[in-house]
Amino acid sequence: MLRILHQIFRTGVVTEPLTDEVEAEVVLVGARLEAAIRRRFSRSLAIREVDAGSCNGCELEIIAMNNPIYNCERFGIHFTASPRFADMLLVTGPVSHNMEIALKRTYDATPDPKLVVAVGDCGCNGGIFGESYASLGGASSVIPVDACIPGCPPTPVELLHGILHLIDCR
């Protein structure tokens, strides 16, 4: 225990703050998103993230949305552990064969009206993995998809823009 505390104090804070430019963009798109969420969902947007076979690069960016630096909870975005409480699914990765049924069940368990967003090049169209003996390709090959956010991986700001675009278009 003392060794761990010693390590913590010796290492200090290693995270870097956002640049002024990115911070300004996060605040701008966040404010628009907050207004769109209030208009469409009254209070907040609950998201269930589904990793259908990704390399976890997209997950790192999605998790970053929720960290103290991006802090997207302030805009009314919450991540939920259960699809039963979700308004939106974020699906990453090419859909691996062994995740096909799980993805379908998650989709079915999410109450209507639900929004589905394919995240990353892999979620959009299979990306570098494409379709193979192990992969079914993009999320739309298994469930209906409302929007795609390309990138390998998309940044948190690009994710916010993609979510805002979908909510605004609906």
In sequence order, what are the beta bridge partners of 92? 51, 119
Question: Which of 30, 76, 83, 120: binder of ligand SF4 (CB under 6 A)?
Answer: 120
What does the DSSP 8-state code read for residue 138?
S
# residues near ligand SF4 by CB under 6 A: 13
The identity of residue 67, as a single letter, is N
- Min. distance of Cβ 149 from ligand SF4 in angstroms? 10
DSSP result, 32-73: HHHHHHHHHHTT-EEEEEEESS--SHHHHHHHHHTSTTT-GG
Which of 76, 83, 153, 162 is in the footprint of ligand SF4 by CB under 6 A? Answer: 153
Residue 93 Cβ vs ligand SF4, minimum distance, rounded to whole Å: 5
For residues 83 and 43, is the Cβ–Cβ distance under 8 A?
no
Give the x/- contact pattern for ligand SF4 in 21-40, rule: CB under 6 A: --------------------
Report the distance separating Cα 126 and Cα 111, nearest Å. Answer: 26
Tokens found for residue 40: 């469409």
Considering only residues 36, 45, 47, 55, which one is a binding residue for ligand SF4 as defined by CB under 6 A?
Answer: 55
The CB-of-126 to ligand SF4 minimum distance in angstroms stands at: 9
Contact residues: ligand SF4, CB under 6 A: 54-55, 57-58, 92-93, 120-122, 127-128, 152-153
